[in-house]
Amino acid sequence: MDTAQIMGLVTGILFGFLLQKGRVLRFEKQVGAMLLKDMTILKFMLSAIMVGMVGVALLADAGVIALGHKPMNVGAIVVGGALFGAGWAVMGFCPGTSVGALGEGRWHAAFGVAGMLAGAALYAELYPLMKATVLSWADFGKIGLPETLGVSPWVVIIVFIAVALGLFRWFESRGL
Amino acid sequence: MQANRNDGGWSPYLAGALVGVLAILSAYATTVWLGKTTYLGASTTFVRGAGIIEKQVAPERVEANEYFTKEKVRVDWQFMLVLGIFAGAFIASSTDKSFKLEGVPPVWRERFGPSVGKRAAAAFLGGVVAMFGARMADGCPSGHGLSGMMQLSVSAFAALAMFFGVGIVVAAMVYGRRK
């Protein structure tokens, strides 16, 4: 293994450990969030984002790390995002959690993994068609929300954290 | 907010916050040691995995495919990250006794019965659609949902809204009460 592979493996083990400890790898947690009955994965994701966005902004401000926005390609995000949402609801796992679920013995996740491998191969086959259609509609490129709104990243971060904390209070008061 | 529940699980706030710390450390470490800031993600690995499998049967097809060429079929940092998720979940679940062999999720069983075949067919089809969408959107709840949001990417806010928005509607249709 080269350095990159070792670093990926170590990071992945820690990531998988935390995903499992947070109990977000379960089918019922994923579907529970989409049925608005159990907000565990939202609590987990928003907590990770809140902490991560502060650190990323500080390191990026200092010029230590680079930001790597994914393109705001409208067709790709809207159509692809909708397809993902629909498939996610039926499968009950997202790509990362499916592999984690296998690790905690939920072997039915393997069917989803097999489907996702097939879906990736299918996308590779149809990529030229996608490029000529959905991907070519409107691409705003790699943009961040702060510069799009013309504000400091910290404004976005403070608003985001305030909204997330408000949601947490609401989840807890409703026992979600 | 309990840090330690009776089933050995941690508070999702705590575990999530620690993932935030891990994401920051990982962005820093990859920049320093690999020369390129790399963020957590998972779905590109399925492209590489599919390419590796397809190579066994039709290597020239993979070779000639534009998308496989673009995403580079190889075992890279993210590929090992995804394998690591499996290992990490195994370690965590086997040390706190939450590891459980399960062929049909209980929630699914309540709605659709104990058939493994039915669950397998639905999960496979769901997986095909989800990954096709994730590749089109260029990310999943890890790449967009965690990494993109941490960087305040416009695409991440839009993608996450689509993921959950459509997920909520479809979940209500699939698991909601009939009639």
**pLDDT, tens digit only, all 179 positions of chain B:** 444 446 779 999 999 999 999 999 999 999 999 999 999 999 999 999 999 999 999 999 999 999 999 999 999 999 999 999 999 999 999 999 999 999 999 999 999 999 999 999 999 999 999 999 999 999 999 999 999 999 999 999 999 999 999 999 999 999 986 54
Among chain B residues, the shortest Cα distance to A165 is held by B13
Q: Nearest CB to B22: which of A3, A18, A34?
A: A18
Chain A residues with CB inside 8 Å of B37's CB?
65-68
Among chain B residues, the shortest Cα distance to A131 is held by B136
Q: At which residue do the structure tokens 């496989």 appear?
A: B68
Amino acid at B62: V
**Is the Cβ pair B127, A112 closer than 8 Å?**
yes
pTM of the full predicted structure?
A: 0.95
Among chain A residues, the shortest Cα distance to B18 is held by A48
Q: Nearest CB to A108: which of B102, B145, B154?
A: B102
What 8-state DSSP symbol labels residue A137? S
- Residue B112: exposed, middle, or buried by beta-carbon count in 10 A (0-12, 13-18, 19+)? middle
Give the tokens for residue A118. Answer: 């097939």
What is d(CA A88, CA B120) in angstroms, rounded to the nearest whole number? 14
Give me Rg for the CA atoms of chain B.
Answer: 19
**Is the Cβ pair B119, A66 closer than 8 Å?**
no
Beta bridge partners of B153: A144
Handedness of CA A71, A76, A78, A84 (dihedral sign): negative
Cβ atoms A25, B89 nearer than 8 A: yes
Q: How many residues does chain A have?
A: 176
Buried b (16+ CB within 10 A) or exposed e, B113-135: eeeeeebbebbbbbbbbbbbbbb
Q: Nearest CB to B166: which of A72, A86, A101?
A: A86
